[in-house]
Chain A
Amino acid sequence: MNSKLIWSLWLLMTLAIGSYYAYSIFGGGDKTQLLIGESTYGHFQIEMACETCHSDPFGGPEVLQDACTKCHAEELKAALDSHPKNKFTDPRNANLLKIIDARYCISCHTEHQQEQTRAMGVTLPDDYCFHCHEELGDERPSHEGLPFDSCASAGCHNFHDNRALYEDFLVKHANQPWLLTKEHPPFINLNLPSVSAKIQKLAALSIEDIDATNMLNDKNYIAQDWLADKHSQAGINCSGCHNSSDNWIDKPDHHICAECHTLETKGFLSGKHGMRLAENLSQSLAPIKPRESNLNFQDDAANKQQKCTACHAAHTFDTSFAATEACLSCHNDEHSLAFEFSPHAQLENNNFAAENSRVTCATCHMPRELSEQHDKKLLFVQHNQNYNLRPNEKMIRSVCMNCHGLEFAINSLADPELIRNNFNGRPTKHVESIDWALKRIKEN
């Protein structure tokens, strides 16, 4: 009798536990319990959309590799990746692959292993370069005796993106002054079109042209905001974003913005602010709120959902506000708080530069880029911060060298204290890469 009871209880409990996990996996239940470890900072936002990466429960590393490339391949290609997969597929590398199988991203970036995760989401010891470049000291006397954990940490090399660090580039831009120009920064031609090339610019609209007066009620301030905004000047009426009164969309989302601002939206959905809204997730997620991140944010911004309108307030869409004040309304770390007192901000306050050439948070973290669509050049703001955020040498060419010499930029980005105080002073670090490159040229 006792035995029967025990077996029945065991069966019941097994079924209950099995059902709980089956519901979690297949029934759309809470998947938190299925996480095998804390996710990296790059992926924690989408960790509940498990099937985005784990698309096949029986797949091996190829399945995960597909997931990595689905989101990151384009960026790696643009960065002229120094170690793409096809560098390792030749059988002659078989012995090396036994140590680190560099054909797969997860060999170096293992997810859900927070205790092993180091800078750049790398889960290998920092001296990983040793396994393939053991004999480097024999070939380059300047590198003899250098510890292998310093290759990527000293401002000299990156595993993927070396566009600003390769030897010929260092030589070409050696001996530049710290400031390349005292005029306004030589940004890209700002007169280029900045919305999708397929959109035709329409005639400017006036208050009499508003096509949704019945929806305005007594909110005349909305009409005034719209009138002062570039949308009315570009001929975009209320219905352009909200649809007609019969099919009114009260709060248009990023899908509407994307109809014109295609590249900005694409970057937004790939970056930290909008990745939860990306189309390629296995399930829809709510926009991220600052309180869900472990970065330091302003208390009163804790619940501010990150949608287009979080920075570009509806109807005003003030890009000047979005470029600095919007950032500082959330970000509360030392670097952000020091911006106000930084030389870059002082330039702005002193009205040193023309309005469109001011140095703002966005100048560095969401720089303007050029794209070619339908044989037309298009100016857009890169809303994916990952393109130049980490490793910070990714910023050298796209941002720093618009104004500063290469050596000053490399040294500044290698100085953690200077980054903390938002570049208030001169770099105290000196990366020797340019010196060594010049020495080699001289010796040859």
Chain B
Amino acid sequence: MKHIIKALFFSSIILSLNGCGEGEQKAGIDPKIYTDSLFAVMKADRTNYTKLIIKRLGPAGADKIKPNEHWEDLPEGAPLPAQMFRAGAEAVTELTDKFTYSLQSTWPINSQNAPKTPMEKEGLEFIAANPGENFYGEEKLGDVTYFTAVYPDVAVSDACTICHNEHKDSPRTDFKVGEVMGGVVIRVPL
């Protein structure tokens, strides 16, 4: 009888533990949905900054601000859309370690923004070759495994293409509005 009670007791613990695990998994957000949602916010903000601020108030609009790579050194300087995006990414690292993101390109103006890891290279090649599709995978960097998602960064305005096509450090000078210029890489530690 004692053995039966013991067996029942331990079985219930094991079942309850399993139950907890399943419960946690069910309660958590699928990394893909998590990164898709983050990207939606990033894309919306990035597009709005480009169209509503840079295009509207910059030299092509009211000419009230000067979008410039060295904006901090100009009285009316404003960060370029890519810099604004990176400033957000850097600010996020001060707030949370639950995810990181970066803007990269196979044709970067600053070579530090070229893909570095094998998965970044694979992801950027995939989104360039498959317009409208995203790339997802897992990679280990240092001692941590990450869910890595790569989303296409599309030229939403001629403010993007003109600047990149005319920049002396740009390795590509024939970008057109609507084309993939690079990718947003979002990582979630697993």
Chains A and B form a bound pair: yes
With A87-B90, A90-B102: A444-B111 Cβ-Cβ less than 8 Å: no
What A residues does B94 contact at CB under 8 A?
A: 86
- A residues 160-191 with Cβ under 8 Å of B? 163, 166, 168-169
CA distance A190 to B89 in the complex (A): 42
Bound complex: CA A159 to CA B151 (Å):
32
| A5 in the interface (beta carbon within 8 A) | no
Q: Contact: A91 with B187, CB < 8 Å?
A: yes
Kindly identify which residue among A84, A90, A93, A169 contacts B73, using a CB–CB cutoff of 8 Å: A169
Asked whether, in the complex, the Cβ of B73 is within 8 Å of the Cβ of A92, the reply is no
Contact B116 A166 (CB under 8 A): no
Stretch of B15-23, B59-67, B140-148 on the interface side: B140-148
Task: Name the distance in Å between A276's Cβ and chain B's nearest Cβ.
Answer: 32
- Residues from chain B with a CB closer than 8 A to the CB of A169 are 70, 73
Q: Which residues 67-98 of B have a CB within 8 angstroms of A? A: 69-70, 72-73, 89-91, 93-94
A89 sits at the interface (CB 8 A):
yes
Please judge, given known A-B contacts A89-B100, A444-B168, whether A94 and B72 are in contact too, CB under 8 Å.
no
The one of A86, A132, A441 that contacts B168, using a Cβ cutoff of 8 Å: A441
Evaluate whether A80 and B120 lie within 8 angstroms (CB atoms) in the complex, with A91-B146, A135-B111 already known. no
Q: Is B37 in the interface zone, CB < 8 Å from A?
A: no
Q: In the complex the two chains form, what is the Cα distance from A163 to B185 in whole Å? A: 30
> Please, which residues of chain A bring their CB within 8 A of the CB of B93?
86, 89-90
Whose C-beta in chain A lies nearest to the C-beta of B97? A89
Contact (Cβ within 8 A) A92 B70: no
Cβ contacts under 8 Å, B146 to chain A:
91
Task: List the A side residues contacting B112 at CB < 8 Å.
Answer: 132
Could you tell me the distance in whole angstroms from the C-beta of B63 to the nearest C-beta in chain A?
A: 20
Tell me if A91 and B141 are in contact (CB < 8 A).
Answer: yes
Verify if A139 is at the interface (C-beta below 8 Å from B): yes
Residue numbers in B under 8 Å from A139 (CB-CB): 111
- Does A201 have its Cβ within 8 Å of any Cβ on chain B? no
Closest A residue to B167 by beta carbon equals A444
| Given A163-B73, A169-B73, A440-B168: A91 and B144 interface contact (C-beta under 8 Å) | yes
Q: Is B117 an interface residue (CB 8 A)?
A: yes
Chain A residue at smallest Cβ distance from B111: A139
| Contact A80–B141 (Cβ < 8 Å) | no
A83-142 interface with B by 8 A CB criterion: 84, 86-87, 89-95, 97-98, 132, 135, 139
Q: Which residues of A contact B142 (CB under 8 A)?
A: 91, 94-95, 97-98
Cβ of A441: which chain B residues have Cβ within 8 Å of it?
Answer: 168
Interface size on B, residues (CB 8 A): 24
A171 shortest CB reach to chain B, Å: 10
Q: Is the CB of B90 within 8 A of A86?
A: yes
List of B residues within 8 angstroms of A84 by Cβ: 90
- Is the beta-carbon distance between B73 and A80 smaller than 8 angstroms? yes
Question: Which residues of chain B come closer than 8 Å to A166, judged between CB atoms?
Answer: 70
Report the bound CA distance from A166 to B142 in whole Å. 33
B72 & A80 in contact (Cβ 8 Å cutoff): yes
Q: In angstroms, how far is the closest chain B Cβ from the Cβ of A102?
A: 12
Residues in B with CB closer than 8 Å to A163 are 73
A-chain residues with CB within 8 Å of residue B89 when the two chains form the complex: 90
Complex Cα distance, B146 from A441, in Å, reads 41
Cα separation A169 to B70 with both chains bound (whole Å): 9
Chain B nearest CB: distance from A188 CB in Å? 16
Q: How far is the CA of A441 from the CA of B142 in the complex (A)?
A: 40
Residues of A within 8 Å of B185, CB to CB, are 92
- Residues from chain A with Cβ under 8 Å of B91 in the complex: 86
Q: Chain B contacts of A444 at CB under 8 A?
A: 168
| B70 close to A168 (CB less than 8 A) | yes
CA distance A93 to B72 in the complex (A): 25
Q: In the complex, what residue of chain B is closest to A138 when comparing beta carbons?
A: B111
Partner of A92, one of B69, B111, B141, B189: B141
B120: chain A residues at CB < 8 Å are 92
Q: Is A94 within 8 A of B168, CB to CB?
A: no
- Shortest Cβ gap from B174 to chain A (Å): 16
Residues of chain B lying within 8 A (CB to CB) of residue A168: 69-70
Residue of B72, B90, B91 contacting most chain A CB atoms (<10 Å): B90
- In the assembled complex, the CB of B60 is this many whole angstroms from the nearest CB of chain A, namely 20
Distance, CA A92 to CA B90, complexed state (A)? 13
A interface footprint on B136-178 (CB within 8 Å = 1, 0 otherwise) = 0000011010100000000000000000000010000000000
Q: List 22 A-B contacts (CB under 8 A).
A: A80-B72, A80-B73, A86-B90, A89-B90, A89-B100, A90-B102, A91-B141, A91-B142, A91-B144, A92-B102, A92-B116, A92-B120, A92-B141, A92-B185, A92-B187, A94-B142, A95-B116, A95-B141, A97-B142, A132-B112, A163-B73, A440-B168
Residues of A whose CB lies within 8 Å of any CB of B are 80, 84, 86-87, 89-95, 97-98, 132, 135, 139, 163, 166, 168-169, 440-441, 444
Which 8 interchain pairs have the tightest Cβ spacing?
A: A94-B142, A86-B90, A444-B168, A94-B141, A89-B93, A91-B141, A92-B116, A90-B100
Given known contacts A86-B93, A90-B100, A169-B70, what 4 new A-B pairs fall within 8 Å (CB)? A80-B73, A90-B187, A95-B116, A135-B111
